[in-house]
Structure 1
Amino acid sequence: MRLRFALSVLSVACLVAATPLTAQAVTTPALGWELTETGVTARLRGLSPVSRDVVWASGSEGTVLRTVDGGRTWRNVSPPGAAALQFRDVEAFDSRRAVVLSIGEGADSRVYRTEDGGRTWTETFTNDEPRAFYDCMAFFDRRHGLAMSDPVDGRFRILATEDGGRSWRVLPADGMPEALPGEAGFAASGQCLVTSGGRDVWLASGGAGRSRVFHSGDRGRTWTVADTPIPAGDPARGVFAVAFRDARHGVAVGGDYRPDQASPSAAALSRDGGATWRTSATPPPAYRSGVTWLPYSPFAAIAVGPAGSDVTHTGGRTWRTFDTGSFDTVSCTRDLSCWASGEQGRVARLTFDRR
């Protein structure tokens, strides 16, 4: 199974590289999800694949999972005494070292770190600001990372680490633009804060009159902000996830997370590092909470949500649904492996099949 997967992806990579802007005019891979048995029913909104073999997932009921055999078996490595927490984000460095973020008001927002594959955990940050609510976390490398909170005193709050999550400090807020009334991040997929390279980071927002994406080129010290065309104007609407394949090319997804509400224009793209955004010509048909670039082409990405999964081979201009199963988040690795996770303990590996 693994050999067929690798050969299929390599064949697709060669094909797309030979015809970069006309990928949809030639043979493209048929995509699908292969579910794995995790043994839990928690909703897994946090996901961090390290390689084809090593994947971490986290979610409700204080759950943290790890596989080191490509999903054939999963081990529950949840921190003891954390069953009341919701670990909405996990960032893993290898099979032994990982950092998880729990969300919530006040002390419910915490960070834990493990250095032994989840056998033991150290609580490295507990929020002491009752108005703060941490949503997402992202790392530039094994040492430098950020976490973001909904606005406090009118500005998004940024937490920084320079030692791999062992210690954290709140960055000064004077470099952050003022938030709009009601503006916040969505802790839906661990992708409301993402990085690319060693210094660039983006923060996605909603819940206000406009949906916006913030950008920092200096690891969170100073920020600019741009409006997106993804619908806003309601606490349930906005940008839920962003992904950048380099410092300039990004995609954003979102919409209205309420299942009885339509989500037109649920995706947008940027070619200037998030300074401007335009609506996808053919967006996903419903709300999407997670998005990632595929490893085999600079123009391919996947978006997921509770109502299905979509793929683009045009850098985000057009999207096509390939699966109707429920997932909350999605992520890929450099060794050509992609994973998604969501409700009822669902974790799946992406499969490729030449047709």
Structure 2
Amino acid sequence: MTLRAFALLAAMGLTSSIEAAVPLEVLPARTDINWIGISTPSADVIWLSGSSSTIGRSVDGGASWDYFQPASADLEFRDIEATSASEAYALSIGKGGASRIYHTGDGGRNWQLHYRAGSNQFLNCMAMSETGEAWVYGDSVDSLWSMVRGADGRNWLTARNVVDSKPLPGEGGLAASGSCIRYKNNVWVIGTANATTARLLIKRDFGIRFKAIDSPLPAGPSAGIASVWPFSQRHALLAGGDLNNSEARPRLVRYEDGEFTPLSEPPLAGALYSLTVLPDGAILVSNPDGAALLPAANEAWLRLSEENIWNSACVAGHCYLAGKSGYVAKFSWPAAATD
């Protein structure tokens, strides 16, 4: 179905049927795991991370899966960044040394602990560039930023003096989907939470420090920016909200040339957890109330699912959704160009 056909259906009010809008294929992943992190280095290769220290990998588009447990079952892997079918980095969260980075170079058969955070350090999300540079964003500690940088994917060091201003009291992140930091288009972007203002932190790949910019997204405890998507140093999308107030707005905002513009609200209740932009400009968001897609040429949202979905990823016209109780699904978006 073409994008014009989707827009026509929306205008006629015929997209209320979830299945009729964009058919989803539910994949046979383990149902005893809450899947939170997802990474798709290619259309057929999918990596998942989640509860019970479990990692999942498929090399056939989700038809079959292999499962791995890099550490003791009490860890929760909120983020995974894969570079291929063989190599991936997994981030677990928590204090007391539970925030860790594990690496595999042999498709998950063996995992090495690359970084273990201090007892008072809580890491939220991780992103990697094509060159292997990585940044991990964590909650501030003792009025200092608490991040981790890996220059080459092998050596990881704590970074504190990396923002042009000090953190606000309590400033940290939302580890809902592992996407509060992202690298794209030679730009690193971070979304903050839990403080009096939700801020956008942005840096070019050759820059020394992140620039902190106040945003209009809901702020306060358990509120802020959960997911980011950079287009350039002056242009990004931000998604989030307030986990304690489902009516808090705005939840989806465009930042461009110093201005913030709220976008049309998706048909999902509560704070948004994940944000994915397809190559044609369509916007995909998800949270425990489901998933929704906004076609690039149309202001009418398509409701895709009512499942509890924490994360999404798209590559080469194939999109994958991951969430609670083992839910994993995929769909094809006809308007998406091949990456």
- Taking structure 2 as the reference length, the TM-score comes to 0.87
Unpaired segments of 5 or more residues in structure 1? 1-7, 17-21
Given that 1:245 and 1:293 are in contact with CA atoms closer than 8 Å, whether structure 2 keeps it comes out as no
Given that 2:319 and 2:333 are in contact with CA atoms closer than 8 Å, whether structure 1 keeps it comes out as no
Distance change in 2, residues 1:36/1:285 (3 Å)? closer
1:252 paired with 2:259, answer no
Given that 1:228 and 1:278 are in contact with CA atoms closer than 8 Å, whether structure 2 keeps it comes out as no
Given that 1:65 and 1:78 are in contact with CA atoms closer than 8 Å, whether structure 2 keeps it comes out as no
1:59 paired with 2:50, answer yes
**C-alpha RMSD of the superposition:** 2.9
In structure 2, which of residues 280, 293, 298 is the aligned counterpart of residue 311 of structure 1? 293
CA distance in 2, matches of 1:305, 1:83: 25
Q: Secondary structure at the match of 2:35?
A: coil
Given that 1:226 and 1:276 are in contact with CA atoms closer than 8 Å, whether structure 2 keeps it comes out as no
CA distance in 1, matches of 2:85, 2:47: 8
Distance change in 2, residues 1:183/1:71 (3 Å)? same
In structure 1, which of residues 30, 42, 55 is the aligned counterpart of residue 33 of structure 2? 42
CA distance in 1, matches of 2:259, 2:290: 27
Distance change in 2, residues 1:205/1:317 (3 Å)? farther
For 1:3, the equivalent position in structure 2 comes to: none
CA distance in 2, matches of 1:175, 1:232: 19
CA distance in 2, matches of 1:241, 1:59: 18
**Sequence identity, in percent?**
30
1:210 paired with 2:170, answer no
For 2:77, the equivalent position in structure 1 comes to: 87
Trace 1:258-337 onto structure 2 (pairs within 5 A): 258=244, 261-272=246-257, 275-286=258-269, 287-295=271-279, 297-298=280-281, 300-314=282-296, 319-333=301-315, 335-337=316-318
How big is the shift at 1:348?
Answer: 1.0
1:46-88 deviation digits (Å, cap 9, x = unpaired): 1001112100000111010000010001111221x42111110
For 2:169, the equivalent position in structure 1 comes to: 181
Residue identity opposite 1:291 in structure 2: L
Number of aligned positions between the proteins? 328
How big is the shift at 1:256?
Answer: 2.1
Residue identity opposite 2:68 in structure 1: V
Distance change in 2, residues 1:178/1:110 (3 Å)? same
For 1:222, the equivalent position in structure 2 comes to: 209
Q: Secondary structure at the match of 2:325?
A: helix
Q: Secondary structure at the match of 1:208?
A: coil
Distance change in 2, residues 1:91/1:83 (3 Å)? same
Unpaired segments of 5 or more residues in structure 2? none
How big is the shift at 1:175?
Answer: 3.7
Q: Secondary structure at the match of 1:45?
A: strand
1:106 paired with 2:96, answer yes
How big is the shift at 1:135?
Answer: 0.5
Moved over 6 A (4+): 24-29, 315-318
CA distance in 2, matches of 1:174, 1:54: 34
1:231 paired with 2:218, answer yes
Given that 1:211 and 1:231 are in contact with CA atoms closer than 8 Å, whether structure 2 keeps it comes out as yes
